[in-house]
């Protein structure tokens, strides 16, 4: 009997990670762009812009993990094992047979 999941119940940790890093990245990026951050003549705006961009990039991993964890209807590897192995074996046999036939036809004896 399959469990029913409602809403965002799969991969909550990945979702939380993605949302928090998106927020921190956006705040850092916008602060670096619009605020004048000079301490003793050093401008720290670029640091915040680059940090924000990296945080937003890291959040992409969280979104991908969350999305792929919420996909339903996928078969497990064990269920696919027999079908995939049989198909790969058939392809390998057909390819091997074609190569063998091509060699015997093209080689002059």
**How would DSSP label each residue in the chain?**
-PPP--TT-S-HHHHHHHHHHHHHHHHHHHHHHHS--EETTEE-HHHHHHHHHHHHHHHHHHHHHHHHHT--SPPPHHHHHHHHHHHHHHHHHHHHHHHHHHHHHHS--
Q: What is the rounded average pLDDT of the residues 2-18?
A: 73
Q: What is the rounded average pLDDT of the residues 79-102?
A: 70
More reliable by pLDDT, 8 or 92: 92
- Confidence check: pLDDT of 31 > 90: yes
Q: What is the rounded average pLDDT of the residues 11-27?
A: 92
pLDDT at 72: 67
Mean pLDDT, rounded, of the chain: 79
Per-residue pLDDT of 45-73, as tens digits, reads 889 999 999 999 999 999 998 888 777 66
- Confidence check: pLDDT of 8 > 90: no
């Amino acid at each position: 009997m399959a469990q029913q999941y409602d809403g965002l119940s799969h991969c909550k940790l990945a979702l939380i990670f993605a949302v928090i890093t998106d927020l921190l990245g956006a705040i850092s990026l916008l602060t670096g762009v619009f605020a004048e951050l000079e301490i003793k003549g050093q401008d720290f705006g670029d640091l915040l812009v680059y940090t924000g961009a990296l945080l937003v990039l890291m959040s992409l991993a969280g979104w991908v993990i969350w999305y792929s964890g919420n996909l339903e209807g996928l078969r497990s590897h064990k269920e696919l094992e027999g079908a995939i192995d049989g198909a790969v074996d058939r392809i390998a046999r057909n390819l091997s047979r074609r190569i063998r036939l091509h060699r015997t036809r093209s080689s002059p004896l």
